Amino acid sequence: MKYASLRRITSVAEASTFEQVKIQNPTASADYARQFYHEDLVLYESFFIIMLSRANKTIAYAKISQGGVSSTVVDPKIVCKLAVDSLCSGVILVHNHPSGNTDASQPDKDLTKKISQALSYLDIDVIDHIILTEDSFLSFRKEGLL
């Protein structure tokens, strides 16, 4: 029995509107991630991963989930599968808070820890977890949460 692909990984090379860039800091991560969000930034919560090469250059991205106004469901197995499929060395986790509050909730922290632990067994680093709002962002790395 064949299984359908869980999610489409969009490589930066094949996405004409997205260019390969080197992510050097949390602001660059947030700026790069904003291109995935449109009106949904303030309407409902979505979760993406950005996959990076060893040199921290973007090689692919994928939308993991889209939820309601205050949460979305993220399965760490899907994150791990897509990271492995892309042959990346690191990932940046990204989700938005439509409320405009950049504070990381306990479930946000727990999910980040769970994904980080799972990916560590595969030698894939979680470079950062960015929470976006319409006019701001929070970096787990910068805040010492990662």
Per-residue buried b or exposed e for 6-45, using 16+ beta carbons within 10 Å of the residue's own CB: eeebbebeeeeebeeeebeebeebbebbbebbeeebeebb
CA distance 71 to 52: 26
Q: What pTM, to 2 d.p., does this model score? A: 0.88
Q: Are strands 125-132 and 46-52 parallel, antiparallel or unpaired?
A: unpaired
Residue 2, in any domain of the structure: no
CA distance 65 to 70: 13
In this prediction, residue 36 carries a pLDDT of: 84
Residue 132, in any domain of the structure: yes
- DSSP conformational letter for 133: -
Residue 4, in any domain of the structure: no
* 3-state SS assignment for residue 53: coil
- List per-residue pLDDT tens for the chain, 146 residues long: 344 444 455 554 454 455 789 999 999 999 999 988 877 888 899 999 999 999 999 999 999 999 999 999 999 999 999 999 999 999 999 999 999 999 999 999 999 999 999 999 999 999 999 999 999 999 999 999 99
Residue 47, in any domain of the structure: yes
CA-based nearest residue to 7, from 84, 114, 71: 84
Location of structure tokens 């950005």:
50
In this prediction, residue 38 carries a pLDDT of: 79
In this prediction, residue 10 carries a pLDDT of: 56
Residue 112, in any domain of the structure: yes
CA-based nearest residue to 45, from 100, 112, 110, 103: 100
Residue 89, in any domain of the structure: yes
Q: What CATH number did the domain enclosing 78 receive?
A: 3.40.140.10
Q: Which domain holds residue 103?
A: 10-139
In this prediction, residue 103 carries a pLDDT of: 96
The count of domains in the chain is 1
